[in-house]
Structure 1
Amino acid sequence: MFIPKAGSKIQIHSYKHNGNIHRVWEETTLLKGTRTVGIGGNDRTLVTESDGRTWITREPAICYFHADHWFNIIGMIRQDGVYYYCNLSSPFAWDGGVLKYIDYDLDIKVFPDMTYNILDEDEYELHRREMNYPEEIDYILKKNVNDLIHWIRQRKGPFAPDFVDNWYERFLTYRS
């Protein structure tokens, strides 16, 4: 298995359960890449939606992916603190210099004070029916919502104090 080296520029591809591309982040600097973990940083990167529309991210972000968890976490660095956007998703996989995962619609937005909102439950239910998510996927995703909430409350992983700041400092070393 090819795993890009730290400092490499990678793309991130998000798919839907039916195999269709959902979203592509054009360039992320890989800060740590192993078989089980992918941590990247980006700032003002081009994002292309499945319908061809494009937009550019507004702030620096640290992205955390794990091969053993059905979620990924993006810490967005803003003036008033770190906001997190958590996607319930398949574990990630490497495909050359591309980090890939399946997005399962459910999201959790976490604010700097660690309060949070669960988002897109209606979209999840619609896509679960339309794309025939197997019952075991539904079970796994609902369990991982609970796991993710536990991580938020316990300040675990990317929610730990200084996690995003420390990885952002490393990201800056590659931007000279």
Structure 2
Amino acid sequence: MTFPATGSNIQVQSYKHNGKLHRVWEETLVLQGTSQEIIGGNDRIIVRESDGRKWRTREPAICYFHAQKWFNVIAMIRADGVYYYCNLGTPFVWDEEALKYIDYDLDIKVFPDRTYKILDEDEYRLHQEQMNYPREVDLNVQQGLQELQSWICQGKGPFNPDFPEQWYERFLSYR
């Protein structure tokens, strides 16, 4: 299997458990692509929603995807600090068309002071019932949530204070 080349632009697609396309990020620059991790950067890109709406991101972001983790992380670089938006979902798949994952609704927003808030628990429970998530999926999502919270508290991976700065500088070197 090949992986996206460093310096290439890729599309990121999220799906729902029922297989329906949820959201598409039009252009992310691959800063590092391996069989285990893809780190990308983007700035003010167009995002398409499944209902046809489009919007543009407001700030530069560094995206972290892992081939074995049930979450992905977006570090948003703002004037008042780095905010993180974390999606609970399947590990990524790269099929040469796009980086893809299934989004399971639960999210965590992390603030510059490292405090965080779990979001969309009601939406997760509703979709869990509507789409009949298998027990294994629920266990993986809950384990991903716990691991993500641990990474946040420990400053591990993309939550290491040097991570967004280092990768953002690399992103700028491509522009």
CA distance in 2 between counterparts of 1:86 and 1:174 reads 25
Do the aligned partners of 1:41 and 1:60 also contact (CA within 8 Å) in 2? yes
Q: State how 1:95-174 maps to structure 2 within 5 Å.
A: 95-174=95-174
Spell out, residue by residue over 1:114-172, the C-alpha distance to the aligned partner (whole angstroms, 9 max, x if none).
Answer: 00000000000000011110011111111111110000000000000110010000001
The letter for the 2-side match of 1:63 is C
Once the two structures are TM-superposed, the CA of residue 12 in structure 1 deviates from its matched residue by 0.2
Q: Could you say which residue in structure 1 is the equivalent of 2:86?
A: 86
Give the letter for the 1:79 counterpart.
A
1:72 match: 72
**Contact 1:42–1:61 (CA<8 Å) still a contact in 2?**
yes
* Root mean square deviation, CA, Å: 0.6
Q: Give the superposition deviation at 1:97.
A: 4.3
Indicate conservation of the 8 Å contact 1:4/1:97, yes or no. no
Deviation of residue 173 (structure 1)? 0.9
Secondary structure class of the residue paired with 1:35 = coil
Could you tell me how far apart the structure 2 residues matched to 1:97 and 1:84 are?
26
| Separation in structure 1 between the aligned mates of residue 77 and residue 103 of structure 2, nearest angstrom | 22
Shift of 1:2: 2.3
Q: Secondary structure at the match of 2:28?
A: strand
TM-score, structure 1 length as denominator? 0.98
**Structure 2: runs of 5+ lacking an equivalent:** none
Match in the other structure for 2:31? 31
TM-score with structure 2 length normalisation? 0.99
Q: Distance in 1 between matches of 2:74 and 2:17?
A: 21
The runs of 5 or more residues in structure 1 that have no matched partner are none
Contact 1:3 1:97 in 2 (8 A): no
Tell me, in whole angstroms, the C-alpha distance in 2 between the residues paired with 1:43 and 1:118: 25
The percent of aligned pairs where both chains have the same amino acid is 67
Runs of 4+ in 1 over 3 A off after TM superposition: none
